[in-house]
Amino acid sequence: MSAVMMTRKVRKWEKLPGKNTFCCDGRVMMARQKGVFYLTLFLIVGTCSLFFAFECPYLAIHLSPAIPVFAILLFFFVMAMLLRTSFSDPGVLPRALPEEATFIEMEIEATNGNVPAGQRPPPRIRNVQINGQIVKLKYCYTCKIFRPPRASHCSICDNCVDRFDHHCPWVGNCVGKRNYRYFYLFTLSLSLLTIYIFTFNIVHVVMRSVNSGFMKTLQDTPGT
């Protein structure tokens, strides 16, 4: 007699008005253009696999097996940081709901007074005192909020992001408060990995050249 209506709960990420794409039931959050991110992945994985295929056997035998082991750990760390930066929420501020938007509009009108028609309304600024200094908070017309200090609106993702640094196409996401740490570690560890691979490439080529001459070395290890 009683029909049980199973209403599927709508998740927050499904209702987010920004230009983000979501995967894995909301666990992965990225920008719309992902082409450059795939390029980054290809470059890192490609270079490292060439290194592991061509250099590591020689270096492991002739120098030390710790060299490829450390390279693998570093590669794993770089990939973890890259994926963490790309897939996590940079600190998107939710847009104001209609009631809050009208509340803020009324507050702005109260401070600015009536503007005669035809004149441009003054910029919407809210002054707050932080540790004795006056800081101006700007109003975001898209999100209808006064942005907290150090927040900014990303036009590519169409969201206000807290402590917005920049939108990184290489990573396919904005860099903001919640993923800054992973982005920084990614760039740091990637630099380390690049220098590491480059150094051991040189070492490898030199060692082989000493034995069999430079031209033959290049023939033996094209991957270098």
Partner 1 sequence: MAETHSLQDMRQQAAIAAKVFIQRDYTNGTVCQFQTKFPSELETRIDKQQFEETVRMLNNLYAEAEKLGGSSYLEGCLACLTAYTIFLCMETHYEKVLKKIAKFIQEQNDKIYAPRGLLLTDPIERGLRVVEVTIFEDRSLGR
Identify the residue among 81, 140, 171, 174 touching partner 1 (CB under 8 A).
Answer: 81
Answer yes or no: 168 catalytic.
yes
Name, in order, each residue with C-beta under 8 angstroms of 53's C-beta and a sequence gap of 6 or more: 223
CA distance 168 to 159: 14
Residue of 53, 128, 192, 210 that binds partner 1 (CB under 8 A): 128
* Integer Cα distance of 124 and 13 in angstroms: 29
- When asked if residue 80 is in the footprint of partner 1 (CB under 8 A), the reply is yes
165 is an interface residue for partner 1 by CB under 8 A: no
Residues 9-68 that bind partner 1 (CB under 8 A): none
Select 115 or 125, whichever has its Cβ closest to partner 1.
125
* Nearest Cα to Cα of residue 156 among 37, 5, 12: 37
What is the DSSP code (8-state) at residue 65? T
In whole angstroms, the minimum distance from the beta carbon of 217 to partner 1 comes to 35
**The one among 162, 170, 196, 203 contacting partner 1 by CB under 8 A:** 162
Residue 99: CB minimum distance to partner 1, A: 5
Amino acid at 64: S
Using CB under 8 A, which of 29, 93, 154, 174 touches partner 1?
93
Return the DSSP state at 29.
Answer: E
Determine which one of 140, 157, 160, 168 is catalytic: 168
**β-pair partners for 127:** 136
